[in-house]
Amino acid sequence: MRSHAGIASTMFKTLANEGINIRMISTSEIKISVVVDEKYLELAVRALHAAFNLDKPALAA
């Protein structure tokens, strides 16, 4: 996470924009984990995928 400034900020802003309350946060040098209510699980995953451009197909090598 040290070499990728702004990742946590993007994650938290994305969830906040969707009105998703974070119940718990755990961080390390290589990952961020959050706990959200189960009813927001799919919305959170889709929103985060879109925020980090993970919702688009990978380009073939």
The answer as to whether 42 is a domain residue is yes
pLDDT at 14: 98
CATH assignment of the domain containing 14: 3.30.70.260
pTM for this prediction: 0.83
Domain residues for 23? Answer: 7-51
Total domain count, the chain: 1
pLDDT at 17: 98
Counting Cα atoms < 13 Å in the Cβ hemisphere of 33 gives 3
DSSP 2-26: TTSTTHHHHHHHHHHHTTPPEEEEE
The answer as to whether 61 is a domain residue is no
The answer as to whether 57 is a domain residue is no
How much is the average pLDDT of 47-61?
Answer: 86
The answer as to whether 25 is a domain residue is yes
The answer as to whether 14 is a domain residue is yes
Instruction: Name the one residue in this structure whose structure tokens are 């961080």.
Output: 27
Altogether, the residues listed in the chain come to a count of 61
Q: Pick 7 or 57 by higher pLDDT.
A: 7
Among residues 1, 52, 46, which one has the least CA distance to residue 20? 46
User: Torsion angle of alpha carbons 35, 57, 18, 16, nearest 10°?
Assistant: 60
pLDDT bin (cut points 50, 70, 90) of residue 29 is: confident
How much is the average pLDDT of 13-28?
Answer: 96
